[in-house]
Structure 1
Amino acid sequence: MAGLLALVVAGCSSTLTRIQTWEGAAADDGAVAVLRAPGEIQVSQVNGRDVGNFLMDDLALDYELLPGRNVVVFKYKTIWAKGAGVENGESKVAVIETPPQQVIINARAGEQYEFVLPEPGSRRQAEALSRNFRTQISNSGGAIVATSGRHEPAVSVAGTPAGNPVAGAPVSAAPQSMPGGDLPALEAMKVLWERASAEDKREFLRWAFD
């Protein structure tokens, strides 16, 4: 039975080596980039689209990315033996995982990317790492092209979740705020006006001319 299970797992692993991260038709190999994720990395979303929920969560998988800006959301998870002193009924292993992280990859067609992970030597080091986690992404030439950070879901002006930029979109600096941000106050107000709903615009005009 154990041998049969191993064969089944191996078969599943071979069929899940490449995961398409967009909706629609598949693309030719030369038209996409590939992000290689080891078993410690659990990718949950790419550009706001769910790509996780596999039967096993420690699979090494490759994710196909469309050229352009790709926002990848993931967790880093490791399992450590607790050693002696484990009480009856208590798990003998400790699962250490980070809060959701994200990394932005400006993908190029035909390029291959991979996570450059830290290698904690003990459970204590892994716990410390999980509290302030950072990882980098390298390309096939070994150059570092991105660094991860804590995932913060985007919020639109109206207070509702905003969609992530789609792959293929040009990379640009997003307007930040009103005075004190990256844009002059007038330009920031113009951007906010363009993004506001019709109802928000009506309420603003009532307030401005009251």
Structure 2
Amino acid sequence: MFARLKKLSPVGLRQLTVVLAIFAIAGCSSTGVSRVKTYDGGSSIGGVAVLKAPSTIKVQEVNGREVGNFLLEDLALDYELQPGQNIVVFTHKTIWAKSGVVQDGESAVHVVETGPQQVVIDARAGQEYRFDIPEVNNRREAERLAADFSVAVLAAGGGTVARSQPFEGYPQQPQMAGPAQVVTPSQPYSPQAGQPAPVYQGGQSGPGSRVETLEALKMLWERASGDEKREFLRWAFD
């Protein structure tokens, strides 16, 4: 093995180092991250609530703050919520292996994912909540569930405290006007010749603030699916 490594060019060694670093970070994410803070500053004096999400739930935002920045997607996570009303935006995603022969360049799996959903939770300090996800046994059942998706959020005692519905944006959020393209969580940015840098609404960037190229790339990475990230890495190191 070491003899093969010695034969690698400097460019090949650099690419291998980057790939190993990515896997190391991913490993840390899968083993060291299980609880995610969804608010700025310290917690309230009375403590926080916890929303438990299985690996099929991908929480994107809580009260407009982005929280879904993980290299690995198959993570079951606990989200700390401040007491009071919390708007949680998420999707439900399942992956199913394809049967038969897979052609070169073709994905080996079917991905079934809902559109963005939102659930409004009136959280109480010290309380635990969880998503009540219906069980699906195959891709067809998953597709039927995704076509008309709605999921309940249960308190620790089992009572329903909220039910999700399609996310249509925050009504209190002002709309931006001007020549710059507006990027929202459900609308990825596609650069075109002569197009100005995007303006991001929501998250930690203030309305109207211009996003530099690096920040735009970070936003695109956060919104990319697992297949898209893998395809990008194959392109980058080809």
The TM-score range, normalised by the shorter chain, is 0.5 to 0.7
Secondary structure at the counterpart of residue 115 of structure 1: strand
**Structure 1 residue aligned with 2:35, among 9, 15, 18?**
18
Q: Are the aligned partners of 1:19 and 1:61 in contact in 2 as well (CA < 8 Å)?
A: yes
- For 1:183, the equivalent position in structure 2 comes to none
Count, aligned residues: 159
Residue 140 of structure 1 deviates from its aligned partner by 0.7
- For 1:40, the equivalent position in structure 2 comes to 56
Unaligned stretches of 5+ in structure 1? 165-210
Q: Map of 1:102-117 to 2, 5 A cutoff? A: 102-117=118-133
TM-score normalised by structure 1 residue count: 0.67
TM-score normalised by structure 2 residue count: 0.60
Question: 4+ residue runs of structure 1 moved beyond 2 angstroms?
Answer: 5-15, 25-28, 85-89, 154-164
Q: Are the aligned partners of 1:80 and 1:93 in contact in 2 as well (CA < 8 Å)?
A: yes
Please tell me whether residue 153 in structure 1 is matched to residue 169 in structure 2: yes
**Structure 1 residue aligned with 2:108, among 92, 106, 125?**
92
**Structure 1 residue aligned with 2:97, among 56, 59, 81?**
81
Which is greater in Rg?
1
Give the residue type in structure 2 aligned to 1:12.
S
| RMSD over equivalenced CA pairs, Å | 2.8
1:53-91: CA deviations, max 9, x gaps?
A: 111112111000011100000010000011124333321
Secondary structure at the counterpart of residue 118 of structure 1: coil
Residues 118/159 of structure 1: CA separation in 2 closer, same or farther (3 Å cut): same
Q: Are the aligned partners of 1:35 and 1:113 in contact in 2 as well (CA < 8 Å)?
A: yes
Secondary structure at the counterpart of residue 29 of structure 2: helix
Identity of aligned residues (%): 48
**Structure 2 residue aligned with 1:59, among 75, 79, 85?**
75
- For 1:178, the equivalent position in structure 2 comes to none
